Structure 1
Amino acid sequence: MVTGQPRPESRRDTVVIAASAGGISAMRRLLARLPPDLPAAILGVVHLPATANSVLPQVVTRRTAIPAEFARDGAVPRPGRLYLAPPDRHLLLVGDRLRLSAGPRQNGVRPAADPLFFSAALARGRRLIGVVLSGMLDDGAAGCAAIRQHQGLVAIQDPAEADYDGMPTAALASTGDAFCGNVEDIAHYVTERTREAVMTSGRDRDPDLERLVDHLLEADAGWSEPPPREYSELTCPECGGPLYDRPMPAGTTRLECRIGHGWSPRTLLESQGRAMERALSMAVTQLTERAILTRRLAEAATERGHRVSRDLFDEKARQAEDAVETLQRMLAEILARQQDGSTVGSR
């Protein structure tokens, strides 16, 4: 959203990259094709477990001319360098500085792509290029829409080339006019676009995105004011609180609880599926143990000649075993559907 009189020429001086499953190799190939004198800082998010080790910067820049490091809170990014979100921290760009956030998970992960893309869109506007590489589900899609709304550019790995096409496909759907190509094409696109002059303009404030970024900068982030949108009749898988609808750029939808956990509908559905799987697995385990215990009680009653007790425990064991069989069928069906979903449209 750009308004006001044009300002002096500037250059696209910031590139943000999101990658998940299959994305590390794609990021490495992309970086290997970027020139060492790239006139833009590169900020990257790769979905990492909280316990991940600290060798990611070395891994993604192997055989490349781009030096890399984990981002440090308060650092000023420099051109020609890659700054990666460290494990269990969101990476944000606020003004001219990098910020790290231990705020609520977004789309079920921390670090997540959307917070970086949202904050960079606010901070850089036309000077920003967003890149989405291989990954599952749709983290980064709403962020790409925000970048385009703030007049930045978006480049997306061709889903046919990506090892996992979920993130690229979702990002394409959220933008409509993004550049799409293989990794080599994206490297050429980024190199050329960062050397072009752009006319910057005064931007309208975006209170929703500003508020979201502010909340992420607080470790105890949450809504202190009344709920921001209508109740969605859904609950947050992270904390069990109510989820509220929050319209986002380009018609994308975000669901957010009062704590600040944010979800796209697709990642929420995936998380609900995992929660259901865990619940069924726990129920199978408990019912199996109940069947074992009641069978033992039936055997003990038989040894003592207590036929009534034996029949009662036998019946309880049979009921538990029948329930286990039913739940195992349900669990197998859920896992099969999840597998189908992971190979069609969310690879």
Structure 2
Amino acid sequence: MALEPRDLVVVGASAGGVEALRGFVAGLPADLPAAVVVVLHLPAGGTSALPAILGRSGPLPAVSARQGMALERGRIHVAPPDHHVLVRDGTLVLSHGPTENGHRPAVDALFRSAAVAGGPRVIGVVLSGALDDGTAGMVAIATRGGVTMVQDLDDALYQGMPGSVVKHVRVDQVLPAGSLGDAVRRYAGEPVETANVPAPSALLRLETRFAAQQTVEVEKMGEPSGFSCPDCAGTLLDVDAERTRFRCRVGHAWTADALLDAQAGTLERALWTALRTLEEKVSLARKMGADARNRGSGKLAERYERTEEEASHAADVLRGYLLSDAVDEQARAERPS
């Protein structure tokens, strides 16, 4: 029987995640017999103050992950902006691989790599966040015999991520963020059987390779879905019909919820572009109409005036729709949940 200690904790968070992470790390013991790797969805530019914040919030030191850094028990390794952080052979790999749900670093990329590398030695933790990031990665961890934990929905500022995991995975622990650290302490260091664990699926291996910027035969991942990638406009392949996930040929990954959200943003940008074009058309028609009248071309001026009137009416309708939609969106955001 091959027994190894459960010694890798991977944590994912997004919206509302800083407070959740602070509560989580405050509950970790100073002698935790496991390495902790954290992904918080961050903007691509700039630097992150998260290592300093987490280092002050609990007893464990926190550092920004670096390429080739060895995983160290009793230390928190934080993904830097604009890089996936992956686990491989006891070290961390930083990658500029394709975004997942528009994110890099991405929670799912870390979780999948941990599932492949550690199997039952892994503890996965999903905290506050919108949409359904982290679910596919947590499924991978559960399938490989790892422990699954999520923040209690009543404790999370944003329930989307932990709520989605609960819907798709038989979760081992559902607790407030401040109690999850103690739960990790109880599981960490336990000897676990590693010899008879189900091997990673072909899809899991392919997606982990994608995140690491390795060559992948995309055609093996699924069939064309009929949808386009919001990032590159390429055809999306249906890679996981059960949980409705997609990837394009260059690797951008989307869940159905994230794809719908991204498409809504693309549509809104297109509508604002259309409004700008209509307003420019109004201005140009008005100028050309005035020039025609100055030259004594009355009929030509009337044609330009009709064009101005039609474009102005269309712009008013479109502007009214966009502004009312923005008001409705703000009202939904301010409505108590």
Unaligned segments of structure 2, at least 5 residues: none
The answer to which of 167-176 and 195-204 deviates more is 195-204
What is the TM-score normalised by the length of structure 2?
A: 0.93
Give yes or no for contact 1:153–1:178 (8 Å, CA) kept in 2.
Answer: yes
Measure how far apart 1:333 and its partner are: 5.7
The answer to whether the aligner puts 1:206 opposite 2:201 as a matched pair is: yes
Give yes or no for contact 2:141–2:147 (8 Å, CA) kept in 1.
Answer: yes
| 2:281 aligned residue | 290
Distance 1:234 1:90 in 2: 25
The answer to whether the aligner puts 1:325 opposite 2:316 as a matched pair is: yes
| 2:236 aligned residue | 243
Distance 1:286 1:74 in 2: 50
| 1:309 aligned residue | 300
Distance 1:211 1:284 in 2: 43
Query: What whole-Å deviation, never above 9, does each CA across 1:314-339 have from its counterpart, x for those lacking one?
Result: 11111111221232244346546756
Q: Counterparts of 1:92-111 in structure 2 under 5 Å?
A: 92-111=86-105
Decide whether aligned partners of structure 1 residues 341 and 102 sit closer, same or farther in structure 2, where only a CA change above 3 A counts: farther
Question: Out of 241, 256, 259, which is 2:247 matched to?
Answer: 256
| 2:211 aligned residue | 216
Q: Counterparts of 1:327-346 in structure 2 under 5 Å?
A: 327-332=318-323, 334-335=325-326
Distance 2:220 2:302 in 1: 56
**Percent sequence identity over matched residues?**
37
| One-letter identity of the residue aligned with 1:126 | P
Q: SS state of the match for residue 316, structure 1?
A: helix
Q: SS state of the match for residue 219, structure 2?
A: coil
Decide whether aligned partners of structure 1 residues 70 and 291 sit closer, same or farther in structure 2, where only a CA change above 3 A counts: same
Give yes or no for contact 2:11–2:127 (8 Å, CA) kept in 1.
Answer: yes
Distance 2:332 2:195 in 1: 43
Question: Out of 137, 141, 147, which is 1:153 matched to?
Answer: 147
| 1:3 aligned residue | none
Distance 2:232 2:87 in 1: 27
Give yes or no for contact 1:134–1:166 (8 Å, CA) kept in 2.
Answer: yes
| One-letter identity of the residue aligned with 1:156 | V
Query: What whole-Å deviation, never above 9, does each CA across 1:133-153 have from its counterpart, x for those lacking one?
Result: 111111101111111111111
Distance 1:12 1:333 in 2: 53
What is the TM-score normalised by the length of structure 1?
A: 0.90
Measure how far apart 1:341 and its partner are: 7.4
Measure how far apart 1:91 and its partner are: 0.7
Unaligned segments of structure 1, at least 5 residues: 1-5
Distance 2:13 2:70 in 1: 23
Q: Counterparts of 1:16-55 in structure 2 under 5 Å?
A: 16-55=10-49
Give yes or no for contact 2:206–2:216 (8 Å, CA) kept in 1.
Answer: no
| One-letter identity of the residue aligned with 1:157 | Q
The answer to whether the aligner puts 1:233 opposite 2:226 as a matched pair is: yes
Query: What whole-Å deviation, never above 9, does each CA across 1:140-193 have from its counterpart, x for those lacking one?
Result: 011111111111111111121111111111121121334111112211211111
Q: SS state of the match for residue 16, structure 1?
A: strand
Q: SS state of the match for residue 222, structure 2?
A: coil
Give yes or no for contact 1:227–1:244 (8 Å, CA) kept in 2.
Answer: no
Distance 2:320 2:244 in 1: 34
Measure how far apart 1:224 and its partner are: 4.1
Measure how far apart 1:265 and its partner are: 0.6
Decide whether aligned partners of structure 1 residues 25 and 52 sit closer, same or farther in structure 2, where only a CA change above 3 A counts: farther
| 1:90 aligned residue | 84
Give yes or no for contact 1:135–1:164 (8 Å, CA) kept in 2.
Answer: yes
Query: What whole-Å deviation, never above 9, does each CA across 1:43-90 have from its counterpart, x for those lacking one?
Result: 010111111324221022224211111111112110111111111000
Q: SS state of the match for residue 324, structure 1?
A: helix
The count of corresponding residues between Structure 1 and Structure 2 is 336
| 1:275 aligned residue | 266
Q: SS state of the match for residue 151, structure 1?
A: coil
Decide whether aligned partners of structure 1 residues 117 and 208 sit closer, same or farther in structure 2, where only a CA change above 3 A counts: same
Give yes or no for contact 1:222–1:258 (8 Å, CA) kept in 2.
Answer: no
Decide whether aligned partners of structure 1 residues 309 and 178 sit closer, same or farther in structure 2, where only a CA change above 3 A counts: farther
Decide whether aligned partners of structure 1 residues 225 and 56 sit closer, same or farther in structure 2, where only a CA change above 3 A counts: closer
